[in-house]
Chains A and B, each alone.
Chain A
């Protein structure tokens, strides 16, 4: 039975028909407002043009590759009869104007160091405080055979430091965002820089007026 032919349609008239259709369309649109789906974490998904997960992963990949293929680790191992160097992840400063979570790529780097078996990583300054507090507590409360000993920490040979800087340039509806990420591995005893890695990202953001591709 068609809508036009029904008694109810005749009763509400043409304006009523339009209103009902509009309401139905609105309901249909409202139901479609949110859609959530799982996507590949490695997929590049640029929405605003700002720093995102893809940038973080690109930086991590570059630093991992550069640090694991450089000669510093091998030099240390050779000079110490096969012993691995010990590294502490130090301060990575965000000197850009954006809010950039630094640990997303420093953690990736840390994971690569440990999983490669070539570099030992010790807890950072912030992590150490909690661990030391726990160890001190154990001296008082833990059974003697399970107690972690004091003053047995492994000292780091190197500290990894770095920074993120950005430069923006825009004109009209076009914008260039440039990020430079520098990482340096410094010998804690001699202050010598034994390795310097960096990665650069240049993004071109174009806003189209009519949303045409």
Chain B
């Protein structure tokens, strides 16, 4: 073999090696699950199936809700019927009426029966049934009628057990009490700013609470905020004064009423005694003697 042909052979071997090296197999050896020209699946059938399933569920729930509403309306009286129309739970409702008022079905509730008492609690806490006033945490029925129910409020549970607990004023009073308690807790923990925040919010809900006004004034005083403290102290005194005037006014009004009645009675009695002939015999015991001079 001539030197020239030897060089050619070497070059050929080198080229082959380079080519081989270039085509070395990959380090990752995984079977591809999707390659070019494959097709991505279409979800239209899945969506259609979900739609059909959802429609069936909805139809079933609506049918049950309608039948509950029918039962509820057939057993309601004046106040309960109005509450049902408003979508509001009230005392005295039965379980069907509670579900009708909250527009739910038995699937939304866990019902526990213990003798004459029945307790309805939401099946899931993430989406609790709600009526017109708020989210219901519990409904208790006694002998078939709602005796107590509780709303899940921002400050905790608000229990309605009497007619006085219903309505905006009662709700505000309960919430103000809760806020004041929270404020007291913060105050005892040494967080005056948060305590003041809670007291302020409570005062917005129950502005006539002069005790709370005094508490806020003292707190501001402690926080070295004299202008605000002064204003609060003045408001506290003003509220007290108003209360005193109100009390005096009420008392005076009652007195005036008594005076007017007494005067009326005096006139009437005088007229009666003047018209009647003088008794021949002494009056029986227990009756005032009539003065003949009158």
Residues in chain B near residue A43, CB distance under 8 A: 37-40
The reply to whether A44 and B124 form a contact with Cβ atoms under 8 Å apart is no
- Residues 60-88 of A, flagged 1 when their CB comes within 8 A of B and 0 if not, give 11001100110001111111111110000
From known contacts A116-B50, A118-B51, A209-B22, infer whether A187 and B40 are also in contact, taking CB-CB under 8 Å. no
Asked if B54 is at the interface (CB within 8 A of a chain A CB), the reply is: yes
On whether the beta carbons of A42 and B40 are closer than 8 Å, the reply is yes
Known: A57-B40, A117-B55. A80 touches B19 (CB 8 A): no
| Closest Cβ neighbor of A175 among chain B residues | B28
B127 engages A75 (CB within 8 Å): yes
A129 within 8 A of B: no
One of B57-65, B175-183, B216-224, B231-239 at the interface: B57-65
- Other-chain contact of B34, A40, A44, A77, A210 (Cβ < 8 Å): A44
A177 contacts B by Cβ under 8 Å: no
Instruction: Using A68-B50, A81-B61, A82-B61 as known contacts, say yes or no to A58 and B40 having CB atoms under 8 A apart.
Output: yes
- Number of interface residues, chain B, beta carbon within 8 A: 43
> Interface residues of A, CB < 8 Å — how many?
46
> Which one of B30, B57, B124 contacts A204 once the chains associate, using CB atoms below 8 Å?
B30
A207 to B124, CA, bound (A): 54
In chain A, positions 150-193 with a C-beta closer than 8 Å to chain B are: 171, 174, 176, 187, 190, 192
A85 to chain B, nearest CB (A): 9
Is B43 in contact with A61, judged by CB distance below 8 angstroms? yes
A78 touches B40 (CB 8 A): no
B26 and A78 contact, CB distance less than 8 A: no
**Does residue A23 face the partner (Cβ distance < 8 Å to B)?**
no
Quick check: A74 and B30 within 8 Å, CB to CB?
A: no
Contacts of A174 in B (CB 8 A): 26-28
Asked whether A44 lies within 8 Å of B51 as measured between CB atoms, the reply is: no
- Whether the pair B126, A78 counts as a contact (CB closer than 8 A) is no
Cβ contact within 8 Å between B57 and A74: yes
Cβ A79 vs Cβ B128 within 8 A = yes
Instruction: Return B35 CB to nearest CB of chain A, in Å.
Output: 7
List chain A residues, Cβ under 8 A from B40. Answer: 42-44, 54, 57-58, 61
User: Are the C-beta atoms of B127 and A64 separated by less than 8 Å?
Assistant: no
Please indicate the chain A residues that have their CB under 8 angstroms from the CB of B37 in the complex: 43-45
Do B127 and A118 have beta carbons less than 8 Å apart?
no
What A residues does B47 contact at CB under 8 A? Answer: 64, 68, 112, 115-116
Q: How distant is the Cα of A192 from the Cα of B122 in the complex, in angstroms?
A: 17
Which residues of A are at the interface with B, using a C-beta cutoff of 8 A? 40, 42-46, 54, 57-58, 60-61, 64-65, 68-69, 73-84, 108, 112, 115-118, 171, 174, 176, 187, 190, 192, 194, 204, 206, 208-210, 212
For this complex, 28 residue pairs linking A to B, each with C-beta atoms less than 8 Å apart, are: A42-B40, A43-B37, A44-B36, A44-B39, A46-B36, A57-B40, A61-B41, A64-B43, A64-B46, A65-B46, A73-B54, A78-B107, A79-B128, A79-B129, A81-B61, A81-B62, A82-B65, A82-B105, A83-B103, A108-B43, A112-B43, A115-B47, A171-B27, A174-B27, A192-B126, A208-B23, A210-B22, A212-B23
Sort A-B residue pairs by CB-CB distance and give the 5 closest, nearest first.
A82-B61, A118-B54, A209-B22, A79-B127, A68-B50
A81-B103, A116-B54, A212-B23 are known; give 8 further A-B pairs, CB within 8 A.
A44-B36, A65-B46, A73-B54, A77-B58, A82-B57, A82-B105, A116-B50, A206-B26
